[in-house]
Each structure stands twice: as C-alpha cells, then as structure tokens.
Structure 1
Amino acid sequence: MATPRRTQQERRDQAEAALLAAAAELVVEYGVRSLTLARVGERAGYSRGIVTHHFGGKQALVERLARTVQAGFVPGLGDVPPGLDRLLRLIDGYLGQLARIGRSNQAFLLLWAESATQPDLAAIFRERDDAFRADLREDIEAGIAGGEIDPGARPADVAIAVVGQLRGIALQRLLDPGGVDVERVRGSVTGYWRRALGAAFTA
C-alpha cells in the first residue's frame, strides 16, 4: 500500500520543526553568537534559502524558538480554569519538566540568560516574560475572586516572584544537574506557594 503523500503544509511544518530543533542544538553547543542561518540549515539538512524562507532572519528564528518552547513547556493546562489549582499545577509542572530537560528548553534558558546583555534578545525575552507573568496574574486574580487566595496578595508582585524563582531554579539545574534535585524541590516549592497564597485562610 502506497504511503499517502504529505501536504505542502505538512512538509512546511516538518521543515520548521527540524530547523527549530537544529537551532536549539547549536545554541546549546556553541552559544547564540555562533548561530547563523547557514549553520542551522546545514545541521537540519536544508539549504540556507529554506531557513530564510521560513524565518527571514536570525532574529525571527530566535523569536520563534522562544515562543514555541515556552508555549509547550508545561503541557496539559489548556483545559484547567484560571485559579490557584492551575497556578500550582504550572509551578509543579515547570519544575517537573526540568528533571528531563531537553535541548530546546536548555536553549531557551541560555538565550534568556544572555538576553540581559544582548539588546537584540532583550526585546524578545521581555515580551516572553511579560506573557508568562500575565498568565500568572490571571491565575492569582481568579483565585482571589474565587476565595482561594488571600485577598491581600498582590498579583503583579507574586507573578514576578514566581517567575524569578522558577527561572532561577532552572538555571541552577542547567549549571549543576547533579546538585539540584528538582523532583524533591518541586514539592517544597509548590507547597510553599500553596501555604503562602492561602495564608489568610489557615492562620
């Protein structure tokens, strides 16, 4: 039986996935400064022209990589309504993913760290962090409205603290995998936020 021919969109999606995977590998192996469209194409088995066709330039490639990785970092939350439960699931899931961190997630964290000193990356990761904090604020605001979270909690402040903690643990894990037991830490961190945000109701 003949194998069904792939559609043009399927071929495009496959090529894009391969190019993003190649870009992530190169960032982890050589750093973002060494990332070029030609090297990405060579690693993925495509011409530089194909890379340019898909992304236009290095900046767009890095932005797509950041968006794609962040969107899929903690799966299974799409059907969970905003509130304390979703917030705690996100925290627990984020840390759980660090136990099996792949090249794409490693690349995201390396790019995020470098964005502090590289203006071309800074805009991308400011936007990514702002989107992350916005999701967290939505959960906190919903939790306050639903009576699950201490009404004295400040959503913007809590969101900044959560992002800072998760990113900080992730970088420690990246630098010293053997020294950061994320399976143990995830329970402590999730429990901390459960107690901290519900403190007014358990005091």
Structure 2
Amino acid sequence: MPSHKKYQDVAPPANDAHQPRRTQEQRRSDAEARLLEAAQQIVAHKGWVGMTLGDVGIAAGYSRGLATHYFGSKPELLRALAAHIGENFKTMVSEAPNRGVGFHAVLEFIRIYFGRADDGWISTRALLILMAEGMTDGTEAGVNLAIYNKTVIGILEGYFEEAIMKKEVREDVDPAAAAVALLGTVRGVMLQSLLKNSEIDLAKVAAEVTSITIRAYSRRPQTWLALYAGRAHV
C-alpha cells in the first residue's frame, strides 16, 4: 500500500475523552471539513485523476471508507471540494480588513489575491487544477466551478458598479467585462507563478496589476496611483 504521509498535514482527530460531547451533526461537519481539506491537499500535489476516496480518508486520518460514506462517489466529492474552495475564498474576501467599497474594494481584491497566507498556495493550486479539468466534457467538478466563478465575477462586478456610482471609475466601463478581465489577469499570473522554477516576483506583479487597473478604469488615475503607491505589495 502506498504511503500517504506526504498529504497528511491535516492532523488526525484529537482524543476527545476530556472534551465536551459533540452532537452527531458537529462530528459529521468536522469530519467532512477534514476530508475536504485532505482532498484539497491531494489535488494540489498530484491532481484529482489518480485520487481515490480511500486516499482521502487515509490522508484525513480516518478509515478508507469514510469519504465514500459521506460523499458517496468521487464526482460528489469533487463537487463538494469545488464549493468548499469557493466558499473559503469568498469568506476571506468579505472578512478582509480595510476592504472598503467601490474602487478601493477592486484594488484591495488584487492585494488580497496575491497576498494570501496560504502555505504552498494549496487552495490556489487545487482550484486551478480543478478549473483546467473543468473545461473538459462531463467533468465531475465543472458545474460547481462555473457557479463559483460566476459568484466571484459577481462580487467584482458589484465593486465596479459601486465605483461608477461613486464617480471613481469612468461611466463607459462595463462592470461585468471589467470583472472578467481582472479575474482572468490575477489567475493567469498565479498559473504562471505556480509553475516550477517560474521565479516570478509576486510583489512587483501585484503592484503592476494595481497600476494597470487604475490607469484602465479610474477617472483620476494620478490620485489613485499616488494613494496606492506601494500598498499593493504582498
């Protein structure tokens, strides 16, 4: 049997002999979260094609059959994983300090995206791998990834709409198109950065993307450039 130690940075369940008794719903929720984190680790390191539900159970510190018990099948697990990654990112964006509104929120999105404290960029790696597979016909995670993608575009579109109403961004800017363009830019940068030996300086790229976004959309580019000089560095 192959070793799964490489993916076991999700700690095994703690001994709860001296802990308050949890409800069955709490235990199930905790187990599902651990299984999804383990699946994310595996997908990020070796992709999902060779992954089995047994791999996920073992990597999470449980039995080989627990992932099957909770998710039923690999397609269902992958759909749940896509939703899990999406919810985590949405939470991180919504709870970020100093996010602001309008164009401030647009520019802070860039900083947040490039400045995440994600050891090894595990969630980003897993998401990009799932999205690449999501372009194929009949993929297991494609539907959930499309839903998640539309949600993130919608968040950015709302920021641009606010910025236009606040007269921070030009009125001729299409919020939906601008949102797609910005999201595609940051994801494209990360795709390149995560390739082995890429040697991309994310701090400099974050500053450049911020500058490009200001020059492309702002009604007062020089004011915004002065305000955000150096602030986009990760």
Pairwise TM-score range, normalised by the shorter structure: 0.7 to 0.9
Following superposition, the deviation at residue 98 of structure 1 comes to 7.6
For 2:201 and 2:81, locate their aligned partners in 1 and report how far apart those are by CA, in whole Å.
27
Provide structure 1 residue ranges, at least 5 long, that are not aligned to the other structure: none
Following superposition, the deviation at residue 46 of structure 1 comes to 2.4
Superposition misfits of 4+ residues, deviation over 3 angstroms: 78-82, 98-102, 200-203
Check the 8 A contact 2:83/2:145 in 1, yes or no. Answer: no
The worse-fitting range, judged by mean Cα deviation, of 75-84 and 137-146 is 75-84
Aligned-pair identity in percent equals 34
1:105 and 2:121 correspond: no
Superposition RMSD in Å: 2.5
Residue in structure 2 matched with residue 115 of structure 1 by the alignment: 134
In structure 2, the CA distance between the partners of 1:177 and 1:11, relative to structure 1 (3 Å rule), is farther
1:30 and 2:49 correspond: no
For 1:136 and 1:90, locate their aligned partners in 2 and report how far apart those are by CA, in whole Å.
8
For 2:55 and 2:19, locate their aligned partners in 1 and report how far apart those are by CA, in whole Å.
32
Residue from 115, 124, 129 that aligns with 1:96:
115
Residue in structure 2 matched with residue 189 of structure 1 by the alignment: 209
In structure 2, the CA distance between the partners of 1:86 and 1:192, relative to structure 1 (3 Å rule), is same
Cα deviation code 1:5-56 (max 9, x no counterpart): 2333332232112211221122133321112222211222323543233223
Following superposition, the deviation at residue 133 of structure 1 comes to 0.9
Q: For residue 74 of structure 2, what is the amino acid of its counterpart? A: K
Residue in structure 1 matched with residue 229 of structure 2 by the alignment: none
Residue in structure 2 matched with residue 137 of structure 1 by the alignment: 157
Higher RCO structure (Cα 8 Å, ≥6 apart): 1
Residue in structure 1 matched with residue 174 of structure 2 by the alignment: 154
Name the count of aligned residue pairs: 202
Following superposition, the deviation at residue 178 of structure 1 comes to 4.5
In structure 2, the CA distance between the partners of 1:78 and 1:154, relative to structure 1 (3 Å rule), is same
For 2:26 and 2:85, locate their aligned partners in 1 and report how far apart those are by CA, in whole Å.
20
Normalising by structure 2, we get a TM-score of: 0.75
Q: For residue 155 of structure 2, what is the amino acid of its counterpart? A: D
Normalising by structure 1, we get a TM-score of: 0.86
Check the 8 A contact 2:157/2:175 in 1, yes or no. Answer: yes
User: Secondary structure of 2:161's partner?
Assistant: helix
For 1:102 and 1:91, locate their aligned partners in 2 and report how far apart those are by CA, in whole Å.
16
Residue in structure 2 matched with residue 50 of structure 1 by the alignment: 66
Q: When you count helix as a share of all residues, which structure comes out higher?
A: 1
Following superposition, the deviation at residue 81 of structure 1 comes to 5.7
